[in-house]
């Protein structure tokens, strides 16, 4: 049987699209059942002027997962994890993962090691050794950004050669697929994305895309979910999986900007943050069959 069932442990926001709200719909559109555990439940993402809500702790995660186990609801094809804020919660995820792998040895763990961006941590720095020593060695696919790749590899990335070295170092920790989701090198008007598969003869795939003059929330989570889905379809082809992922995101971001400046949006969605929420549900057909707009090169 073709098992396409993801356990996704990420943030939930009541309004808007980050974390599980950004990951679930695209995965469902691409044919996956998604069981979402919400690591936090917030009114909205943290880029708004305020937010309210609750945080799930490690024993609450264990409790929910025990419920799944008691009913034999613990057979998944994938575990996907994103933004988490505490050491104990990450350690509990490691226990969940070990159990899931004991039920399905083929389970694929996609780990987005969300820790920070542009030189700063936005989670406690104590999470770094847990990602590095416990979760990343158990992960099959990881999607760090530049800062996270630097922290995990111990290599400061100034140019593409440094990025290759960091990726090699990350492969040595365990994962067979490493994608650095955004690199801002000499020319910051462009974003470089790099991917590699351990042992692949063609080694690295590289993308260069125009950086839009806007700041989005949830794009990292969207990236990890789309990559999971497209790598399922093309398990041996990181280039095609990244092309599908990036083409989808590019189109969705263009639609998001287009919407944010439309008269209706300006009238009814008062803070700019609300107008800039990702336009996912309105663009289902793009997710299902993305136009080929981002082409990667093998290097």
Give the footprint of ligand PLP on this chain (CB under 6 A). 11, 18-19, 40, 42, 45-47, 83, 217-221
Q: Which of 74, 92, 148, 243 binds ligand ATP (CB under 6 A)?
A: 148
Q: Which helix H or strand E contains 221, and what residues bound it?
A: helix 219-233
Q: b/e for 263-275, b at 16 or more Cβ within 10 A?
A: eebeeebeeebeb
Q: Is 150 in the site for ligand ATP (CB under 6 A)?
A: no
Per CB under 6 A, the list member of 112, 150, 162, 277 interacting with ligand ATP is: 112
3-state secondary structure of 207: strand
Least separation in angstroms between residue 218's CB and ligand ATP is 8
* 245 contacts 227 by C-beta, under 8 angstroms: yes
C-alpha distances out from residue 244 to 215, 229, 251, 287, 294, Å: 22, 10, 11, 9, 8
Q: Which of 130, 193, 227, 242 is the binder for ligand ATP (CB under 6 A)?
A: 193
CA distance 291 to 200: 26
Region 233-272 residues binding Mg ion, contact defined as CB under 5 A: none
Q: Is 221 a catalytic residue?
A: yes
Give the position of tokens 């189109």. Answer: 251
Query: Taking CB under 6 A as the rule, does residue 253 contact ligand ATP?
Result: yes
Is 220 a binding residue for Mg ion by CB under 5 A? The answer is yes
Q: How far apart are CA 271 and CA 256, in angstroms?
A: 15
Q: Which range of residues in 110-118, 146-154, 199-207, 236-244 is near Mg ion by CB under 5 A?
A: 110-118
Instruction: Closer to Mg ion by CB, 107 or 224: give it.
Output: 224
- Residues forming contacts to ligand ATP in the complex (CB under 6 A) are 112, 114, 117, 144-145, 148, 181-182, 191, 193, 209, 211-212, 214, 216, 219-220, 223, 246, 249, 253
């Amino acid at each position: 049987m073709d098992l396409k069932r993801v356990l996704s442990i990420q943030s939930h926001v009541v309004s808007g699209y980050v974390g599980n709200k950004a990951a679930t719909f695209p995965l469902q559109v691409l044919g996956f059942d998604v069981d979402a555990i919400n690591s936090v439940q917030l009114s909205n993402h943290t880029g708004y002027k305020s937010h309210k809500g609750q945080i799930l702790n490690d024993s609450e995660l264990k409790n929910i997962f025990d419920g799944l186990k008691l009913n034999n609801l613990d057979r998944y094809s994938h575990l996907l994890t994103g933004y988490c804020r505490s050491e104990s919660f990450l350690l509990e995820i490691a226990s969940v993962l070990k159990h899931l792998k004991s039920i399905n040895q083929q389970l694929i763990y996609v780990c987005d090691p969300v820790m920070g961006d542009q030189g700063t941590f936005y989670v406690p720095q104590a999470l770094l050794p847990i990602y590095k020593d416990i979760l990343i060695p158990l992960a099959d696919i990881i999607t760090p950004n530049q800062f996270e790749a630097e922290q995990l590899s111990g290599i400061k990335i100034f140019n593409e050669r440094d990025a290759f070295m960091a990726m090699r170092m990350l492969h040595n920790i365990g994962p067979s697929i490493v994608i650095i989701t955004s690199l801002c090198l000499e020319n910051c008007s462009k974003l470089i994305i790099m991917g590699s598969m351990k042992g692949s003869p063609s080694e690295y795939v590289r993308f260069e895309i125009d950086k839009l003059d806007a700041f989005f929330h949830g794009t990292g989570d969207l990236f990890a979910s789309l990559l999971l889905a497209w790598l399922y379809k093309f398990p041996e082809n990181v280039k095609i999986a990244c092309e599908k992922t990036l083409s989808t995101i590019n189109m969705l971001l263009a639609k998001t900007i287009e919407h944010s400046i439309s008269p209706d949006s300006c009238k009814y969605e008062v803070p700019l943050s609300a107008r800039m929420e990702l336009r996912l549900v309105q663009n289902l057909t793009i997710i299902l069959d993305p136009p080929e707009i981002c082409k990667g090169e093998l290097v």
